[in-house]
Amino acid sequence: MSRSVRSPTPPIVSSAHLAEGASPALSELEFSLTLAATGFQRWMVRCAAAAGAQLTPLEVLILHTVRHRDRPKRLADITLVLDIEDTHLATYALRKLESAGLVQARRVGKDKLLQATAEGVAFCDRYHQIREQLLVAPARNQGPDEAVLSQLAQQMRLLSGSYNQAARAAATL
């Protein structure tokens, strides 16, 4: 039987009224997720700009997903992988990426397949180089090791399932 040990200092949260419930640690995690999400989005936009394109965070995510393994993707695959509920947001982002010359679409039967253009691949490569230099190298020097990062990622994926299930339940109330 494990006992909850209260820290002498209160948890660092953005909403103390939510932390007063049964899991202050979950409120602390949610605040950390908020900071991580906004920092990650800011990073993607600035790294994309340094790599030569003015893109939104969603456009950066979609472009890298389209480029993943250099295989064409369907819109349904992209939205599934990125857990995008509003397909029109992905469609709009893809149109912008096509207009920028970073992605191209082609029809194969009834499917519309999306693929990174040579310019899109070059952009992804520049983004990768900048990421390695400005984010990965410092993170390796000061952050957790690869095994810990992998464990954190697994825990976050599991937790995302809990949030998705709770969202579905809340929609029925």
Q: 146-156 pLDDT, tens per residue? A: 999 999 999 99
- Is it the case that residue 1 has pLDDT exceeding 70? no
Question: For the chain, what is the largest distance between any 2 Cα atoms, rounded to a whole number of angstroms?
Answer: 63
Q: What pTM, to 2 d.p., does this model score?
A: 0.89
- State residue 14's pLDDT score: 87
The token pair at 134 is 């400005």
Q: Which domains does the chain have, with CATH numbers?
A: 23-142 (1.10.10.10)
How would residue 117 be classed by pLDDT, with cut points 50, 70 and 90? very high
